[in-house]
């Protein structure tokens, strides 16, 4: 399906199938003053010019400075317009609206709030104080990490004073600025940085938003700065401590990016394997963002000495037909007529088995009521490696249900019971998973990312159907053994789906079935991990969704039990007798 689905950008706050729930992270300046509160009105004298001196050959936004005799609300309005243009004039015009003291302390890119540009900011003047109210989507922090907002209502306050000539200027304001979603995408570019799994065998992407001016250099500076707080617990990097971009910076010529690094100490003392991984991280970061960097290849130099080729890391891909499912009590792979039987029905005990998972070594796992079964390759006997709740005596018992299992690439199988997450090895020994943010909450669904380093979880408060959240977190491991989850990154745009299902769509986004008026939800909502705009993908109405986590290949199940997959420009039914489909990790 990748690249062929009909897709259109969606602003989650206005999507009819989603609640308007977003929240700004606690950004406070001083005593109760909200940060990220400068705003850009949707009307006024903001212009574009084809400035021959502009970097990156972009159209440059410009804005007028403060007018003589302007009232306080007009000063704030002009300042807000000048903030969007500030990405192109280093905020020179915007600072003209501030007192000298305010200008010296104001940090425009410390936090960038993002608001819904279809709703104009509301500006209110009371004496010398101006309040600006906006419909907030989220915030981009100083290193380019976007955090979605669960509540849209947000107000910012500015205090003005008259200077010696009687002209009003802003004397008190929060750090940061606020841009419409349109101005964010015009002035900022989004691209993934690439870090490493703890065993240094695969790359892990993290989406960042950075100003477009000198974008290649900004990308590499962000990469050298390391992963963000939510991801850091589950990844590593080959970047030596103290590494910085050198005087020659990052220059792209004829599709080749030349990266100059410094601060790495004695180059001869560094391990060649580490240097190869460093080059691999830099290359992936610049080439993946080729639309913004124009880089197709990379050369890395340290103190003028060229480093070698990037380390060869495996491409994360999923072959067509890899999906597994149940058919007449047997585990099959594929949904077409050429499907293969992986485990016979008699091995699993008849028709009681459901929700199969396939491990990297060919081991098949499946649920049988409240038990998890394991069938190694070549075996015709299923072992019970986990049972929860009451013994599965019959289908009418009040046994605890397990969540559909997922086998990660470290030979651990993930599931859930009684609202909690579980991970067991091939013998059924449970890992001790520490995740304080899930304490007292009930897990309804989860999925692992392609490289087994990140997890997306749908969870809510206790047994109540309240305070639903969808969160992404890094998986903390000790030599492959999962020991816990890092701090969560919430995805408010994924909340309110019709079904519990939440799956990794590709390495940078998750997918849900949005809520609909009927029993089935039409379309798929693709939610970026670290981005403000979800994408609505046209699809048949469905009650279940699975994706390959790598390329955006998706298969759906409708209420009649038909399996739909994308083929060319259309969806088609691939099977009517296969259930509980799921892709193994690539």
pLDDT in tens, 129-154: 999 999 999 999 999 999 998 788 89
Give the DSSP letter string of 280-319: HHHHHHHHHTHHHH--SEEEEEETTEEP-PPP--------
DSSP H stretches of helix in 295-407: 345-348
344: number of Cβ within 10 Å? 13
Q: Give per-residue burial for 87-107: e unless 16+ CB within 10 Å, then b.
A: bbbebebbbebbbeebbeebe
| CA nearest to 286, candidates 202, 223, 210, 238 | 223
Per-residue pLDDT at 519: 56
Distance, in Å, from the CA atom of 545 to the CA atom of 563, rounded to the nearest integer, reads 10
Per-residue pLDDT at 333: 96
Per-residue pLDDT at 532: 87
- Extended strands (E) in 75-211: 111-115, 122-126, 129-141, 146-148, 153-162, 168-172, 177-180, 188-196, 203-211
Parallel, antiparallel, or unpaired for β 256-262 and 297-302? Answer: parallel
Judged against a pLDDT cut of 70, whether residue 4 lies above it is answered with: no
Average pLDDT over residues 203-214: 95
CATH number of 320-402: 2.40.10
* Extents of the domains making up the chain: 32-187, 214-306, 320-402
**457 HSE (CA, 13 A, CB side):** 27
| CA nearest to 192, candidates 507, 415, 450, 443 | 507
Per-residue pLDDT at 397: 47
Distance, in Å, from the CA atom of 56 to the CA atom of 462, rounded to the nearest integer, reads 51
Average pLDDT over residues 282-310: 95
Judged against a pLDDT cut of 70, whether residue 320 lies above it is answered with: no
Q: Compute the radius of gyration of the chain from its Cα atoms.
A: 26
The winner for highest mean pLDDT among 378-382, 417-421, 451-455 is: 451-455
Q: Give the contacts of 221 (CB within 8 A, at least 6 positions apart).
A: 244, 245
Judged against a pLDDT cut of 60, whether residue 307 lies above it is answered with: yes
* Top-tier CATH class for 214-306: alpha beta
Residue 586 binned pLDDT confidence (cut-offs 50, 70, 90): confident
Average pLDDT over residues 247-261: 96
272-288 helix and 215-224 helix, angle to the nearest 10 degrees: 140
Per-residue pLDDT at 267: 81
**Which one has a higher pLDDT value, 482 or 153?**
482
Per-residue pLDDT reduced to its tens digit, 325-368: 999 999 999 998 889 999 999 999 877 899 999 999 999 999 99
Bridge-partner residues for 537, per DSSP?
Answer: 7, 524
Distance, in Å, from the CA atom of 35 to the CA atom of 33, rounded to the nearest integer, reads 7
- Are 466 and 459 a contacting pair, CB within 8 Å? no
Per-residue pLDDT at 497: 84
Strands of the 371-375 sheet, one edge to the other: 353-358, 364-368, 371-375, 383-387
Contacts of residues 540-543 at CB distance under 8 Å and 24 or more positions apart, as own/partner, are 540/564, 540/571, 541/516, 542/513, 543/499, 543/513, 543/519
- Are 25 and 492 a contacting pair, CB within 8 Å? no
181: number of Cβ within 10 Å? 19
Per-residue pLDDT reduced to its tens digit, 54-92: 334 456 678 899 999 999 999 999 999 899 888 888 999
Percentage of the chain modeled with pLDDT above 90: 71
Give the SS3 label for residue 273: helix
Mean of per-residue pLDDT scores for the chain: 86
Distance, in Å, from the CA atom of 186 to the CA atom of 88, rounded to the nearest integer, reads 11
Quick one: 256 exposed, middle or buried, by C-beta within 10 A (0-12, 13-18, 19+)? middle
Distance, in Å, from the CA atom of 447 to the CA atom of 455, rounded to the nearest integer, reads 6
- Are 514 and 526 a contacting pair, CB within 8 Å? no
**Which one has a higher pLDDT value, 419 or 175?**
419
Per-residue pLDDT reduced to its tens digit, 538-563: 999 999 999 999 999 999 999 999 99
DSSP H stretches of helix in 62-180: 72-89, 92-95, 100-105
Per-residue pLDDT at 358: 96
Average pLDDT over residues 398-408: 86
Global pTM reads 0.86
Q: Please, what is the Cα angle at 136 between 132 and 140, to 5 degrees?
A: 110
Quick one: 419 exposed, middle or buried, by C-beta within 10 A (0-12, 13-18, 19+)? middle
Distance, in Å, from the CA atom of 555 to the CA atom of 551, rounded to the nearest integer, reads 12
In this structure, is the dihedral angle defined by the CA atoms of residues 2, 217, 55 and 48, taken in order, positive or negative?
positive
Judged against a pLDDT cut of 60, whether residue 531 lies above it is answered with: yes
Distance, in Å, from the CA atom of 87 to the CA atom of 431, rounded to the nearest integer, reads 48
Per-residue pLDDT reduced to its tens digit, 118-128: 988 999 999 99
Helix and strand totals (H; E) in the chain: 9, 42
Per-residue pLDDT reduced to its tens digit, 191-207: 999 999 999 999 999 99
**Which one has a higher pLDDT value, 531 or 488?**
488
Bridge-partner residues for 9, per DSSP?
Answer: 535
Distance, in Å, from the CA atom of 565 to the CA atom of 120, rounded to the nearest integer, reads 41
Residue 369 binned pLDDT confidence (cut-offs 50, 70, 90): confident
H/E stretch holding 544 reads strand 544-547
Residue 498 binned pLDDT confidence (cut-offs 50, 70, 90): confident
């Amino acid at each position: 399906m990748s690249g062929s689905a009909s897709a259109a950008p969606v602003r989650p706050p206005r999507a009819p199938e989603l609640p308007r729930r977003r929240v700004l992270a606690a950004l406070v300046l001083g005593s109760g003053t909200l940060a990220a509160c400068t705003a850009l009105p949707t009307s006024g004298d903001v212009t574009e010019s084809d400035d021959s001196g502009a970097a990156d050959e972009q159209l440059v936004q410009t804005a007028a400075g403060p007018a003589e005799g302007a009232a306080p609300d007009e000063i704030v309005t002009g300042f807000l317009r000048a903030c969007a243009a500030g990405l192109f004039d280093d905020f020179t015009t915007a600072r003209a609206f501030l007192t000298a003291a305010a200008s010296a302390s104001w940090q425009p890119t410390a936090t960038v709030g993002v608001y819904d540009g279809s709703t104009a900011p509301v500006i209110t003047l009371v004496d010398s104080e101006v309040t600006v109210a906006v419909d907030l989507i989220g915030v981009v922090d100083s290193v380019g990490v976007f955090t979605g907002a669960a509540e849209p209502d947000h107000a910012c306050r500015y205090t003005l004073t008259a200077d010696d000539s009687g002209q009003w200027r802003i004397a008190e304001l929060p750090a940061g600025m606020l841009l419409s979603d349109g101005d964010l995408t015009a002035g900022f570019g989004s691209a993934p940085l690439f870090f490493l799994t703890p065993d240094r065998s695969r790359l892990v992407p993290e989406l960042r938003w950075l100003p477009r001016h000198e974008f290649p250099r900004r990308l590499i500076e962000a990469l050298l700065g390391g992963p963000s707080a939510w991801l850091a617990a589950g990844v590593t990097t080959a970047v030596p401590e103290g590494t910085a971009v050198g005087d020659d910076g990052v220059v792209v010529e004829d599709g080749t990016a030349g990266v100059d690094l410094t601060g790495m100490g004695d180059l001869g003392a560094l391990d060649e394997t580490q240097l190869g991984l460093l080059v691999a991280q830099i290359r992936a970061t610049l080439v993946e963002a080729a639309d913004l960097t124009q880089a197709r290849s990379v050369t890395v130099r340290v103190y003028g000495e060229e480093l070698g080729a990037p380390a060869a890391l495996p491409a994360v891909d999923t072959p067509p037909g890899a999906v597994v499912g149940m058919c007449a009590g047997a585990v099959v792979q594929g949904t077409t007529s050429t499907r293969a039987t992986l485990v016979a029905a008699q091995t699993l005990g008849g028709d009681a088995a459901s929700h199969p998972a396939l491990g990297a070594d060919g081991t098949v796992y499946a649920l049988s009521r409240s038990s998890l079964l394991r069938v190694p390759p070549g075996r015709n006997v299923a072992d019970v490696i986990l049972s929860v709740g009451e013994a599965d005596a019959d289908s009418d018992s009040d046994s605890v249900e397990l969540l559909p299992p997922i086998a990660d690439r470290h030979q651990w199988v993930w599931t859930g019971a009684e609202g909690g997450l579980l991970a067991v090895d091939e013998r059924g020994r449970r890992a001790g998973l520490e995740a304080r943010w899930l304490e007292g909450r009930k897990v309804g669904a989860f999925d692992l990312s392609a490289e087994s380093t990140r997890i997306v979880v749908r969870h809510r408060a206790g047994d109540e159907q309240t305070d639903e959240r969808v969160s992404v977190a890094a998986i903390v491991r000790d030599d492959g053994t999962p020991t816990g989850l890092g701090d969560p990154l919430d995805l408010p745009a994924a909340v309110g789906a019709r079904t519990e299902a939440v799956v990794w769509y590709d390495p940078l986004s998750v997918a849900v079935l949005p809520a609909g008026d009927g029993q089935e939800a039409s379309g798929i909502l693709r939610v970026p991990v670290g981005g403000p705009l979800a994408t609505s993908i046209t699809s048949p109405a469905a009650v279940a969704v699975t994706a390959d986590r790598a390329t955006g290949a998706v298969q759906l199940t409708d209420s009649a039990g038909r399996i739909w997959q994308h083929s060319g420009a259309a969806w088609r039914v691939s099977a009517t007798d296969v259930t509980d489909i799921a892709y193994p990790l690539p």
